[in-house]
Amino acid sequence: KPQDLESFLLPGLMHISALQKQGLKIWDAADNRMYISCPIVIFVTADCVAMAYINGLVGHSGAQGCRFWC
């Protein structure tokens, strides 16, 4: 588990941001053509333990364990 979560996530998010702006060049040998794909992050998931660490809420073992700001 990283000590500083932002220092762990920021480089990956910067790479995704660059791919969204510049596109990802993909060579299709069957068509002999270059495609440019612009990936989009629709949603991000995590297991229950990691989700509590990422969003800062109490996990499933807390006194009032809830992920929906109850």
Do 1 and 35 fall into the same domain?
yes
Mean pLDDT of 12-23: 92
pLDDT for 48: 67
Do 3 and 26 fall into the same domain?
yes
Do 1 and 34 fall into the same domain?
yes
pLDDT for 69: 61
Q: Which domain holds residue 64?
A: 41-70
Global pTM reads 0.57
pLDDT averaged over the chain?
A: 81
Q: What is the pLDDT of residues 34-67, one digit of tens each?
A: 999 988 888 776 676 677 777 777 766 666 666 6
Do 1 and 32 fall into the same domain?
yes
Do 31 and 5 fall into the same domain?
yes
Do 45 and 18 fall into the same domain?
no
Name the DSSP class of 67.
S
Q: What would you report as the CA-atom Rg of the chain, rounded to the nearest whole angstrom? A: 18
Do 62 and 33 fall into the same domain?
no
Residue 68 has pLDDT above 70, yes or no: no
Do 9 and 19 fall into the same domain?
yes
Q: Which residues pair with 27 in a beta bridge?
A: 34
